[in-house]
């Protein structure tokens, strides 16, 4: 399978920051960095959520999406995670990528310029055709919901 080409545009408030990159050969996600001003870190109080700019816009090919996911190190060490996870960036979106962070810890946390705050995974997607039917095929599970298959 040919790898997709993602075109990046860097906005002025992200100049000088590293572009998203895979941090190891086997990494699934590219790290995204905070593009807040050097002298104005974003303070995240306990229980608070904020929208953190990355200073990046992207052109993703049709048939792909970018998924925004938390960084496990931030989550376990500081209680910082992403909301709306995984967040989806559609192929036709051209605005700035921003990350919704929340502080689940009991201590304040500073998001500083250049900090790796989330990871982005590129995934292939397909659009489905929906067909309205009066009856559906039957399965062993049927309409069993949450917890239906046991503990």
pTM recorded for the entire structure: 0.88
Contact 53, 12 (CB under 8 A): no
Residue 1 has pLDDT above 70, yes or no: no
Residue 104 CA to residue 95 CA, distance in Å, equals 28
Give the model's confidence band at 2: pLDDT under 50 very low, under 70 low, under 90 confident, else very high: confident
CATH topology of domain 7-124: Deoxyuridine 5'-Triphosphate Nucleotidohydrolase; Chain A (2.70.40)
Residue 116 has pLDDT above 90, yes or no: yes
Instruction: Write out the H or E segment, with its range, that includes residue 43.
Output: strand 42-44
Give the model's confidence band at 147: pLDDT under 50 very low, under 70 low, under 90 confident, else very high: confident
Residue 106 has pLDDT above 70, yes or no: yes
Residue 17 CA to residue 146 CA, distance in Å, equals 44
């Amino acid at each position: 399978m040919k790898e997709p080409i993602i075109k990046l545009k860097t906005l002025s408030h992200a100049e000088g920051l590293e572009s998203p990159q895979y941090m190891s050969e086997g990494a699934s996600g590219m790290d995204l960095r905070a593009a807040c001003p050097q002298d104005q870190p974003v303070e995240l109080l306990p229980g608070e959520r904020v929208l953190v700019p990355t200073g990046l816009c992207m052109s993703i090919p049709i048939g792909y999406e970018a998924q925004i996911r938390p960084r496990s190190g931030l989550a376990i060490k500081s209680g910082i995670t992403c909301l709306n996870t995984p967040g989806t960036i559609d192929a036709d979106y051209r605005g700035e990528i921003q990350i919704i962070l929340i502080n689940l810890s009991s201590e304040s946390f500073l998001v500083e310029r250049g900090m790796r705050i989330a990871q982005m995974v590129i995934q292939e997607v397909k659009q489905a055709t929906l067909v309205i039917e009066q009856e559906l095929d039957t399965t062993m599970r049927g309409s069993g919901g949450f917890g239906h298959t046991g503990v």
